[in-house]
């Protein structure tokens, strides 16, 4: 993609959803850090279900330590890998209290030293909680970057480096959200919904799906359902396309 095409790509994704937010629910940076840690190999909806009650009681690492590992396990037992995640969250709380005064550090270098926190989690926290222009490459962004030609790479780190280099200034803060939402709701893994994709003319993917598979509902009705379920405005974009 040329620089102009990259700009247009994000302009279109931004059009209907100028200030996207993570779908994880949280009240402060510490709760976000916990929620992102719990979200590995789990859905945001599933994490929110468990954390809604937990976060009413726990909003600091000190309170998490007071809750204890066994009780935490019980609170998050509906989330996959909850034993390991509970262990990590408690160890993380201990380190935050002992080495960071109970505050969430605002640098990637410090964040990745916390138990259960990798580069992707650190990038999400830096972006969503502290407004830093980071690119947390998850499975959706990895797929969208490679398919479209926006940011190709064999590893998440390579895709992240390309995005860092190519995403222009007005879109850097929210780029990772737009790409996640685009991958989650439109550029899906198995069947990308190219027939209603806002960036179809800019995308280099060779196997575009330019009409809904037989038996699928019309995309307008489907988009409306998603808006209700996910409160995600750009999923319902109507864009009539014919195969080229
Ligand atoms: S045209 Fe298809 S493959 Fe390309 S970004 Fe859109 S949904 Fe994905």
End-to-end CA distance of the chain: 19
C-beta contacts of 156-163 below 8 A and 24+ residues apart = 156/119, 156/120, 157/119, 159/135, 160/119, 160/123, 160/135, 160/136, 163/135, 163/137
Cβ atoms 12, 198 nearer than 8 A: yes
pTM exceeding the 0.75 threshold for the entire prediction:
yes
Least Cα distance to 126 among 116, 134, 118 occurs for 134
- Residues 26 and 153: their CA atoms lie apart, in Å, by 32
pLDDT of residue 217: 56
Catalytic residue among 138, 162, 208, 226: 138
- Residues 65 and 77: their CA atoms lie apart, in Å, by 18
CA 124 to ligand 1 centroid distance, Å: 24
Q: Check pocket membership of 205 for ligand 1, CB cut-off 6 A.
A: yes
Q: Would residue 138 show up in a list of annotated catalytic residues for this protein?
A: yes
- For the stretch 228-237, pLDDT in tens is 333 333 333 3
**Digits of tens for pLDDT over the chain (244 positions)?**
999 999 999 999 999 789 898 889 999 999 999 999 999 889 999 999 999 999 999 999 999 999 999 999 999 999 999 999 999 999 999 999 999 999 999 999 999 999 999 999 999 999 999 999 999 999 999 999 999 999 999 999 999 999 999 999 999 999 999 999 999 999 999 999 999 999 999 999 999 999 998 876 544 444 433 433 333 333 333 222 222 2
Q: Check pocket membership of 40 for ligand 1, CB cut-off 6 A.
A: no
Length of the chain (residues): 244
HEC secondary structure over 138-153: CHHHHHHHHHHCCCCC
What the block records as the tokens of 173 is 């803060």
pLDDT of residue 16: 79
Residues 6+ positions from 214 with CB-CB distance below 8 Å:
none
Q: Check pocket membership of 192 for ligand 1, CB cut-off 6 A.
A: yes
Cβ atoms 92, 35 nearer than 8 A: no
Cβ atoms 108, 132 nearer than 8 A: no
Q: Would residue 44 show up in a list of annotated catalytic residues for this protein?
A: no
Nearest-5° angle of CA 90, CA 132, CA 33? 15
pLDDT of residue 219: 46
């Amino acid at each position: 993609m040329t620089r102009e095409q990259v700009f247009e790509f994000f302009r279109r994704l931004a059009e209907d959803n100028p200030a996207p937010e993570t779908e994880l629910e949280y009240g402060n940076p510490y709760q976000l850090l916990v929620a992102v840690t719990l979200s590995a190999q789990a859905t945001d909806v599933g994490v929110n279900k468990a954390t809604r009650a937990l976060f009413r009681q726990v909003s600091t690492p000190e309170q998490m330590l007071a809750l204890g590992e066994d009780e935490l396990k019980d609170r998050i037992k509906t989330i996959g890998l909850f034993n390991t995640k509970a262990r990590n969250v408690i160890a993380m709380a201990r380190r935050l209290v002992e080495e960071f005064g109970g505050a969430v550090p605002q640098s990637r270098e410090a964040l990745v030293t916390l138990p259960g926190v990798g580069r992707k989690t650190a990038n999400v926290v830096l972006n969503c909680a502290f407004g830093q222009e980071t690119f947390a490459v998850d499975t959706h962004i990895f797929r969208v970057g490679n398919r479209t030609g926006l940011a190709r790479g064999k590893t998440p780190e390579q895709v992240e480096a390309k995005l860092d280099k190519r995403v222009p200034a007005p879109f850097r803060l929210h780029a990772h959200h737009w790409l996640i939402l685009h991958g989650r709701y439109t550029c899906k893994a198995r069947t990308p919904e190219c027939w209603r994709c806002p960036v179809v003319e800019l995308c280099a993917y060779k196997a575009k799906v330019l009409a809904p598979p037989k038996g699928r509902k019309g995309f307008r009705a489907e988009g409306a359902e998603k808006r209700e379920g996910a409160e995600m405005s750009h999923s319902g974009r109507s864009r009539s396309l014919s195969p080229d």
